[in-house]
Amino acid sequence: MECLMGIGMKELASLAGVSQTTVSLVLNGKADGRIARVKQEKVRELAKQYNYRPNLSAKSLRQQKQYTIGVSMPMPVNTGYSDMLSLVQEKLAERGYMALFSFWKTVEGIEKAFESIFLHNVDGIIAWDYHECLAREKIPAVIYGAEIPGFDAVMQDYAFSSKTTVKYLLELGHVEIGYLGPLEDPRAEFLRQNLEEARLPVREEWFIPAKGTLPGGNDAMPEFLSLKKHPTALVAQNDSIAAGAMFCAIRSGIRIPEDLSVIGFNNTVTAAFTLPPLTTFNTYTNDLADALVDLLMKRLETPDMPVQVSKIRPELVIRESCKSITEKEVK
């Protein structure tokens, strides 16, 4: 039964049958190697079930912390990002921290988004992009999606997913492969590299810019449709772009996957409900959120530790949006 009012550390310790010290170690990410994993899981489950609320004001005065973490990322938020935001907020709350969100819509807005976080004197920052003001302010930060010298980072293993994508499409007989998404995204560059390594054509007109949303995928497809020669497979930067592209393609008379194979990225709920269901990559969002929060907590506890970069390897999820070229020709 969920307790809406919330309980304190003493009550949580009593429910879990452990000491308050054990509760503190678990919820502050210091229990590994000290507390049995079964006990850790029990404490976290009960904390969530009974809506554990730490006394942040007393704790803040005692330790001179705000117990607030800034989270900065671009808008609009696609489904994959929104899932991770929710998980990051949940995992910070388990550690006794509040998440303070700040968003930007343009590159010019990044600095303002960070400055709005700085005004609240946060303990640390989880950032979906980098700006030099982070280094200037000297606030502990973890960057998601990019390696920046001097900063901890958590990343998808895009090199692995791109190589896997090209290998899979080659096995299906595809040698003409395009890309749809932000051209500055590392996935675009890795795809170029892997196509070159496989001695496949890299045609710039097949790398089509698109905003990272479902409407963005739909709006970018007219450029694809205007091409004199189409690639036989299209790699989308994320599932939302892929779904939008598929919608436009089908309405324009292009059959998926008979005429065009499509691969997404993130394995969001959307991917299972496109027509046909979308082949994509499971990015293990929960593991990414865990890594972001864990790494920042370690940095707050040990400010002088060496810079760490954590890479999470995605897994190909094969559905029905890709088709063998050989199979098509035989029919």
pLDDT of residue 266: 93
121 vs 87, more confident: 87
Local confidence band at 107 (pLDDT 50, 70, 90 cut-offs) = confident
User: Which residues are registered as beta bridge partners of 101?
Assistant: 71
For the segment 189-244, what is each residue's pLDDT rounded down to a tens digit? 999 999 999 999 999 999 999 998 999 999 999 999 999 999 999 999 999 999 99
Helices within 149-263 (DSSP H only): 158-171, 186-197, 214-225, 239-251
pLDDT of residue 51: 78
The yes-or-no verdict on residue 59 having pLDDT over 90 is no
Cα–chain-centroid distance for residue 259? 30
When pLDDT is averaged across residues 115-140 and rounded to a whole number, the result is: 89
| Secondary element (H or E) of residue 83 | helix 79-94
Q: Domain spans of the chain? A: 9-53, 60-156+284-313, 158-283+316-330
Task: Tell me the HSE value of 290 on the side-chain side, using a 13 A CA sphere.
Answer: 7
User: Which residues are registered as beta bridge partners of 71?
Assistant: 101, 126
Nearest to 235 by CA among 214, 260, 259: 260
C-alpha 60/C-alpha 109 separation (Å) is 31
Task: Tell me the HSE value of 270 on the side-chain side, using a 13 A CA sphere.
Answer: 24
Specify the DSSP class assigned to residue 108.
Answer: G
Nearest to 163 by CA among 200, 197, 123: 197
Q: Which residues contact 272 (CB under 8 A, 6 or more apart)?
A: 278, 319
For the segment 176-193, what is each residue's pLDDT rounded down to a tens digit? 999 999 999 999 999 999
Looking at residue 49, its amino acid is Q
C-alpha 11/C-alpha 207 separation (Å) is 57
pLDDT of residue 61: 42
pLDDT of residue 54: 65
When pLDDT is averaged across residues 247-261 and rounded to a whole number, the result is: 97
Specify the DSSP class assigned to residue 119.
Answer: T
Q: Dihedral of CA 122/127/130/135: which sign?
A: positive
The yes-or-no verdict on residue 278 having pLDDT over 90 is yes
Looking at residue 62, its amino acid is R
pLDDT of residue 47: 86
Nearest to 73 by CA among 130, 122, 138, 115: 130
Query: Domain 60-156+284-313 has what CATH class?
Result: alpha beta
Residue with tokens 């299906």: 172
3-class SS at 11? helix
Fold equal for 60-156+284-313 and 158-283+316-330: yes
What CATH number does domain 158-283+316-330 carry, 3.40.50.620, 3.40.50.2300, 2.40.110.10, 2.60.40.180?
3.40.50.2300
In order of 3, 10, 28, 136, the CA distances from 43 in angstroms are: 15, 12, 12, 38
